[in-house]
Structure formats: structure tokens, C-alpha cells
Structure 1
Amino acid sequence: MVNTWSTVSQLRFVIALFYGCLASLSVSAQELQPNKDGYLFHDSHFHLTNYVQEGTDIRRYLDIMGDKVGRSMLSGIPLQQQWMYANTGDFAPTYYTQTDAPLYYYSFTDAIIAHQYQRLTPEERQRFDPMITGFNPTDMYAADHIRRVLRIFPGVFSGIGEFSIHKEFVSSKISGEVATLQNKALDRILDLAAEVGMPVVLHCDVNTPFPRPNQDPYIVTKLRELAGRHRDAVIIWAHIGLGRVVRPVEDQVKMLERSLANPESKNIHFDISWDETAKYLVATPETVAVIADLINRYPDRFLFGTDSVAPETQEQYLTTYKTYAPLLAKLSPKAKRLLLKGNYERIFDRARQRVRAWEAANVKP
């Protein structure tokens, strides 16, 4: 397979990105109309709150979803941005790039999500799959936190995440032990996920932000080993490891294909959420063609999500979906259906059944 990432120079990439943004703005009205089953997509990656635990009221989010989005996973942000007066004075940062102050784990985010969900009617609840994320993945007690949340809020949660292991500009701001893919605490989390039947949305950059030329992405090897140790756990790799400055590494498409073709890695699924991911995957016609071909050949392994954080309008919320218009146009009907809705339904419907069964056996009335 031709390596499309390495053939795009910096200048060409910027030009392609500019024209890709223009193309995303010209999405036709027809493409934004719900299809025959009523919705454009299910959102496999969404944050109701931001880095200071503020966000969109869940009923407002229902209005934003409207007739465009059928179901959504529902996640908080596991990290709280500290407001350090010595650093920003009276300016109250709401995002981790706005201050040099540290981040810290904020467990109450799970109670916030549960409270929002429980305000809904039983019919409205069917559109959401809340996730547990308020734990420190370096803490051996993290799995105990997840059990505790399930027992305090039975009937609410469907999965775990999104939480981060390696993340550009974030990992270095978190106080305490640095998260790694080899940490025994992470093994305990995935063991519990397999036991309960909860899919895990894991953020782990494919590489360091500014790697040396020809540096092997050791993170990919460790992620593959992690999945191999936990073959009964459903792992959803958020953004296929990409970020603001973490770009596709050389031969990344080939690495993805090896993972997809390996039956021992069938528990790994790939989430293409986030507009920062989309900018790489639709940067040129060549990258669109390569990624579309990969999804068409492995349609049951990819999920679409917005990675929207506390959106205020539907237009803002649909930005990532619109950006992917060139890619969606290249997918087969089957691959498009599974990417946008089918894989979400298969994974989260199964999760709901298994988690409720675990709760019935392990939660006292």
C-alpha cells in the first residue's frame, strides 16, 4: 500500500487542509437530512462537561441532537483544570491549553453524569449510554471505583471512558504517577471491563508529539500487547491515536491494516472522532481514498463520534460530521451504515445487556 502520509509536504498539507475545510463548509442540505431510519448517526464519543465540570444541560443536548443524532455515549471529563491565581490571576481557565497550572483527577464527574441521566424519562434514557471515567488509571483502586459507581447508580452506566494514557500536552500536566500502558492498575480496569461487559474508550496517542525522524512508535507495540492481555475486553481506540500535533506516523495505515487482519486483535475498534483527527483523514484525495478503502474492507471495526465537548448549538455539534463528507462519500452503503450507526448499536446494545445482568447478580437491592 502506498504510504500517503509521508508524501505530503508541510506546505502541501496546509494547502490541502485549507481546501478540505472549504469543502466541509459546502456539504449539501441533502447530506444533512436524516436517512430512512430517522437519524444521521449515533455518537460514539461525546463529552457533556468540560475541563472545569461545566457543560450542556442534558435536555439541551437532546434538543441539539434533534432529529439528526439517534443515540450518544455520555461521558464527563475525568480531569479538572486547576485555577491557579499565581498563574492566570483573575482569568479562570476552562481548557488545559489556557494555563500552565496542573490538572487533577475529578471523581465526582461520574455522579454529575448519573444525575443528568436520571433526570430523563425512561424513553429519553434509551438514547444515551453513560460512561464511567472519573478515576486515576495509575491507581490500583481505580477498578474499585468503577465497581462502586455501578453499585451506587445501578441501571445507569454502559461503559468506561474516555480516559487517557498518553495524551499530548495533557499527560505532563497531571500530578502524580505518569500513566502507561504497562501499569497493573490499567490491567485491573480492563479485567473488570471484561467481567462486567463494559466497552472501554481509551485515548492513547500513537506517538509522541515531536518524535525523532524514523522513530518507531513504541506506543503502538504496547497497545497491541495490552489488547492481547485482555482479549475479552472491547477496546475502542479514540481518534486512532491522532491529535493536534500528533500526526499520522509513517506507515500508520499499514499498522492499522495489520491489526485489523490479526484475529488476536479483533477486540480493538477504531474511533475516528474529533475534528483534529478528521483534518488528517480528509487532507488530500489520496488519504481519503486509502482510509475509505480500509473502512470498506473492515466495516465492523470503525465507529464515528464527534468528540464534541459541551456544544452550544447543533451547527457546532455537527462540525466533525460535515468535515468527513468526502470520506463518507467514498464508503460502501454497508460500511457507511456500520460506521455511523451499526457498530455503535452492536457494541452498546450488548454492553447494556451484560452490565444490567452483572448488576442483577452483584448489586444488593
Structure 2
Amino acid sequence: MTALLLAQPLAHARSYVDGHLHYVDFFQESAGMSALLSAMDQGKISHAAIMGIPVAKKWHEDEPKKPRYYAGDDADLYWYSATDFYLREAIQKLKPEQQQRFLPFLSGFNSSDKNAAAHIRRTLDMHPGFWQGIGEVFTRHDDVTALMQGSTPRANNEAMLKVYRVAAEYDLPVLLHSNITSKRERNPLYLEELEEALSKNTDVRFIWAHAGTSMELHRHQDELDFLLPLVQRLLNEHDNLYIDLSWTLLEPYLLDAKSQPNPEWLALFEAYPTRFVLGSDVVGRFNNLGNIIQSFDPVLDALPADVAQAIAVDNFLALIPKQRNK
């Protein structure tokens, strides 16, 4: 998922917070905490928002070989709540000082099921203070959506509106994956779903995963020319919206073909310096973690030092309950 890389990391003392890291892959497997902590140390990543994957890929009876990724064949994806159990167990086994580096997000629920809010509430009450956010919530997600068992989840469906009320009650940010369009439409096809969620839940801090882009959108559409002005308008109109600059935004948006920063995006970062966060979006394997997060350095180096520090570290920590309550 993060194999397309980008720019050579710069050798300097900058540290980072990774705001979007999956401990497991689509088969609920992981390289483990030892590999993750080593990769974080090498990449100068002080903290990570860590989450499972809310779905699992089926190895279909008719397939002689296990697929390597969710798009490896046409078998279904199904909702998988045990992902949160795996994550919590892995964190609880760490030393206390290691545990403090992780900001766990709860993700193992069906985002089209109106029972989801009750499930989340029970899970939060079982472990008070442990979970620091909700997500990554899968709604519109190109091929993931196409392979999902059951109805298509939306950012503004009744089930998610109930989830947002729980998020507000527990002061938890929501990392939301909601693609801005489909693989074939060059317009913001699904914008209304996101905007309704934002406007009806002004007391919820929404982190929009890679600003509604994805690998599959890029594969079919390259750059979406409406994305920059749309993000600018949404930030202006919705104070509760934050943008996750995961790797799918780096090219072709933040960097050009020569790996030079896009001045229009730089201007947007300076206009809204507290509203952007970094994310690697790695999935269960961590060998490229440092390179991925440091691939944002050409962008950060082109910004004023205080803006770069905010995007690399401070903005995400400000969204997290245990940091906000200090």
C-alpha cells in the first residue's frame, strides 16, 4: 500500500508524530511491536496514532493461494471487531514508557450498523482512558467498498451519526475515510456525505484521511484538479475539520514530478497552520515507516519553522484527549 516512494529522507533532527498507522494488515497480521518501535526510533517518530483494520479479507474456498492484499482477488471483506483486541493486547504487553508513545484508535465496528455506537460505548467503558480516538472509519473507499459484505457505508448514514454522538461525549477525534469521488467521476461526487457529517456534528473533531484521495483514485484519475480549492473551502467553512496528509496526497499534490513542493499547497498550509497532520498509513509492516514519514521533508522544509513543527508534531497531539487534558 505504501510501496511507491517518493523522496530520499533528509538527515536532520526533526521529529514526527505519525497520525495514521495500522498495526495489522487486511489479514489481521502484523510484523509486531518490536519491529514497529525500532522503525519509529529510526524514523524519529515520537508518537503514533495506532489502529487496527476494521475489516478482514476472506481466503475463499475456491482460491488455492492466499491473496497478498485485499485487492488480490474478488473474495469478500468482512467486518472484524477483534482487531481492537489484538491492538490493545499488543500495547498492554509493552513497558509503560513504550505504551506512552502510542495513541490507540478504536476501529473494529461496522460503520453501516446502527448498533455500532452501542458497541463503541461498551468498549470505551471497559477500558476507561485507553482509547484516544475512533477510526480509521471505512466509508467510501473504492475497491474496499466494492468488496465489503453488506450495505455501502456513508459518512452521513444513521449509524455514523450515532457514532459521532459517542465521539463528542467522550471527546474523541474521528479519523474518517470518505473518498471524495469514485474512480470514474472527475467531480466531488460524495462531497455531500462528508459535509453533512461535519455540519451536523460541529463538536466533533474530524480528521479526513488523505483528503478523500486513495491509491485507486490516482491509478484511474491522476490528479483531481478540484481538490485544492475544495479543501480550502471546507477548512474555511468547517472549524472541526482537519486534514490527514497521508502518503497518497504527496504525489501528485504536494510534490511535483521533480519532487518540488507545490506553492499553492504551501500557501494553504500557512493559511491554516493548525489544521493539517502527517500520517504514514502503513499497514502491518513497518520497514519503510521512516522513509515514508520523512518523504514529507521537502514540504516541511519549505514552510516556516513554526508551521512545519505544527504539522509534523503539535497539531495531532492537540487533537488527543490525554494531551488536551494536560
Using the size of structure 2 for normalisation, the TM-score is: 0.91
1:329 aligns with 301
Match of residue 275, structure 2, among 301, 324, 329: 301
Q: 1:78 aligns with which of 54, 61, 65?
A: 54
In the alignment, the residues of structure 2 paired with residue 58 and residue 353 of structure 1 have an alpha-carbon distance, to the nearest angstrom, of: 27
Question: Residues 1-365 of structure 1 correspond to what in structure 2 (within 5 A)?
Answer: 24-25=7-8, 27=9, 31-35=10-14, 40-66=15-41, 68-86=44-62, 88-89=63-64, 91-211=65-185, 216-247=187-218, 248-262=223-237, 265-274=238-247, 276-281=248-253, 282-284=255-257, 288-313=262-287, 316-350=288-322, 353=325
> What residue identity is the alignment partner of 1:165?
T
Structure 2 gaps of 5+ residues are: none
Change (3 A) 1:182 1:241: same
Q: Distance in 2 between matches of 1:101 and 1:225?
A: 32
Greater length-normalized contact order (CA 8 Å, ≥ 6 residues apart): 2
What CA distance in whole angstroms lies between the structure 2 residues aligned with 1:155 and 1:59?
A: 24
Q: Tell me the secondary structure at the aligned position of residue 216 of structure 2.
A: coil
For residues 70 and 103 of structure 1, the distance between their equivalents in structure 2, rounded to whole angstroms, comes to: 33
* Aligned 8 A contact 1:237 1:271 in 2: yes
Of 175-184 and 107-116, more deviation after overlay is shown by: 175-184
Amino acid at match of 1:346: A
1:103, distance to aligned residue in structure 2 (A):
0.2
**Alignment RMSD (CA, Å):** 2.0
Asked if structure 1 preserves the Cα contact closer than 8 Å seen for 2:132 and 2:322, the reply is: no
Question: Would the aligned equivalents of 1:53 and 1:109 in 2 still touch at CA under 8 Å?
Answer: yes
| 1:144-165 deviation line (CA, Å, top 9, x unaligned) | 1111211223332111000211
Q: Percent of aligned pairs with the same residue?
A: 28
- Identify, as 1 or 2, the structure richer in helix: 1
Q: Which moved more, 1:321-330 or 1:238-247?
A: 321-330
Residue pair 1:166, 1:203 contacting (<8 A) in 2 also:
yes
Q: Please tell me whether the aligned partners of residues 140 and 188 of structure 1 are also in contact (alpha carbons under 8 angstroms).
A: yes
Q: Please tell me the residue identity of whatever aligns with 1:96.
A: Y
SS at match of 1:340: helix
Kept after mapping to 2: 8 A contact 1:48/1:76: yes
CA distance in 1, matches of 2:243, 2:32: 28
Tell me how far apart the structure 2 counterparts of residues 218 and 85 of structure 1 sit (CA, whole Å).
36
1 CA distance for matches of 2:102 and 2:91? 8
Distance of 2:142 and 2:295 partners within structure 1: 23
Larger radius of gyration: 1
* Secondary structure in structure 1 of the residue aligned to 2:153: coil
Partner of 1:7: none
Q: 1:252 to 1:83 in 2, by over 3 A?
A: same
- TM-score, length of structure 1 as denominator length: 0.82
Q: Aligned partners of 1:331 and 1:311: how far apart in 2?
A: 30
Given that 1:110 and 1:149 are in contact with CA atoms closer than 8 Å, whether structure 2 keeps it comes out as no
User: 1:277 Cα shift?
Assistant: 2.4
Alignment partner of 2:313: what SS?
Answer: helix
The one-letter code sitting in structure 1 at the alignment partner of 2:77 is L
Distance 1:204 1:145, change over 3 A: same
Report the more deviating stretch, 286-295 or 170-179. 286-295
Q: 1:47 to 1:65 in 2, by over 3 A?
A: same
Q: Matches of 1:53 and 1:208 in 2, distance apart? A: 27
Q: 2 CA distance for matches of 1:106 and 1:352?
A: 30
State the alpha-carbon separation in 1 of the partners of residues 256 and 5 from structure 2. 9
Letter in 2 for 1:269: Y
- Name the residue aligned to 1:5: none
Matched residue type, 2:146: S
Question: 1:120 & 1:268 partners in 2: Cα distance?
Answer: 33
